[in-house]
Structures are given as C-alpha cells and as structure tokens.
Amino acid sequence: MNDAPRLPLLLGLAGSLREQSYSASVLTTLARAIEREGIAHVDIASVDLPLYNQDLDVEPRPTAVATLKQAIDQADALLIVTPEYNHGLPGVLKNALDWASRPMGASPLKGKRVQAVANSPAFTGGVRALAQLHETVLSCGCHLHAGPQVVIGGVAEKIGNGQLNHAPSVEFAVNSVRAMLAHDH
Ligand SMILES: Cc1cc2nc3c(=O)[nH]c(=O)nc-3n(C[C@H](O)[C@H](O)[C@H](O)COP(=O)(O)O)c2cc1C
C-alpha cells in the first residue's frame, strides 16, 4: 500500500500562442523544477480557444473550451504566466479566462488558488499585465496567492533553448508556488 501523500495537481497556462514564446518557456521550466522538487504534478493547458461568444457558451461547448474548463476543475491550483501586450493582459489569456469564468459564481475558477507570473523582454517585466491578471482572477473568485510579485524582466537574455536559464528567477517563482500550495484555502 502506498501511504505517500497525494501531490497537488497544478495546471499551467501561458498567455501566448507564439511558437518560441518566452512565457511558454518560463512555464515549462517552472513546471519541470516544481515536479523535480516534488512540490506538485504539473499539467499544461492550451489557451488556443475560439473567441468568447456568449451564444456559444451553451452545451455542447467548443471542445477546446470544455477541455480547459475540465482541466481547471480537476486542478488544485493554477500557475499562470503572462506576457504584456500594450501595457495589459494579452487577449488570448483574457479570452481563456472569460470562457473559464462562466457560469458566474459557480465556474471552475471559483475558489481556485492562483500564482500569477509576468515576464517581458523589457526591464518592467510585464508588471502592468500582472496587475490586470490579478484583477481578472480576483473577479472570478480565485484565491490569488498574495506576497511578493513574481515578475521576470529582461527575459529574452534569460531564455535559451526554450528554457529559463536564470536560477534566481526560477527559485523565486518556485518558492512562491510552494508557499501557495502550503496554504490550504
Ligand atoms: C502587440 C504587442 C504588444 C506588446 N506590448 C508590450 C508591452 O506593453 N510591454 C512589454 O513589456 N512588452 C510588450 N510587447 C513585447 C512582448 O513582451 C514580447 O513580444 C514577448 O516576447 C511576448 O511574449 P511571448 O514571448 O510569451 O510570446 C508587445 C508585443 C506585442 C506583439
């Protein structure tokens, strides 16, 4: 019999569809480190969804939407890595959160713990997108992990071969996820 405690399941979302996305590289690097340290299992979900249309938000929903909502429902917590577009949240990520946010008050996002991470090639690291992401997840009833914000500036110089090769950033983000999962909301 295996008496080992069940590892939490973390669902990762990256707010970019770009093939060589820095956000996706940050997310996969964090996912590997989190699993290596035995903090959680990590699944990564796609935000490549049709544009939100309330007329389509009925059974049966588009397959990609249903898949994302089910993955969020099954996860113990979310790790969201966002880039910044025009001082805000990229449309693809906002779109995915809009789909996941329904029905209001009873969506899979309600009560879900969230660690948000921003990154950018700029030294500002996507702080303005992070602020908007915080507002959106709070409006969905998520339990946003409070504490020092996880922002990775100058990310282009820290990525190589699809990996975040900057140990302080990895350690800071992983410790924040560890702290989030230690709090059982
Ligand atoms: C439409 C658009 C708007 C952008 N606006 C910002 C911005 O406001 N702040 C910023 O730091 N970077 C901005 N950038 C640069 C992105 O941070 C950069 O393209 C980044 O690589 C996108 O994330 P990704 O690598 O995960 O796809 C913008 C890029 C695009 C394409």
Contact in structure between 25 and 159 (CB atoms under 8 Å): yes
Average pLDDT over residues 100-113: 96
User: How wide is the angle at C-alpha 96 spanned by C-alphas 94 and 102, nearest 5°?
Assistant: 100
The pLDDT value given to residue 153? 98
Q: How confident is the model at residue 111 (pLDDT cuts 50, 70, 90)?
A: very high
Each residue of 158-182: pLDDT tens digit? 999 999 999 999 999 999 999 999 9
Q: Is the CB of 16 under 6 A from ligand 1?
A: yes
Banded pLDDT at 184 (limits 50, 70, 90): low
Q: Whose CA is nearest to atom 30 of ligand 1?
A: 85
- Ligand 1 centre and the CA of 87: distance in Å? 9
What is the percentage of the chain residues whose pLDDT exceeds 90? 94
pLDDT at position 105 is 86
Mean pLDDT for all residues in the chain: 96
3-state DSSP of 27-48? HHHHHHHHHHCCCCEEEEECCC
Q: What's the pLDDT score for residue 4?
A: 74
β-pair partners for 10: 42, 77
Q: From the alpha carbon of 25, which atom of ligand 1 is closest?
A: 26
Domains of the chain are 9-182 (3.40.50.360)
Assessment of whether the complete model's pTM goes beyond 0.95: yes
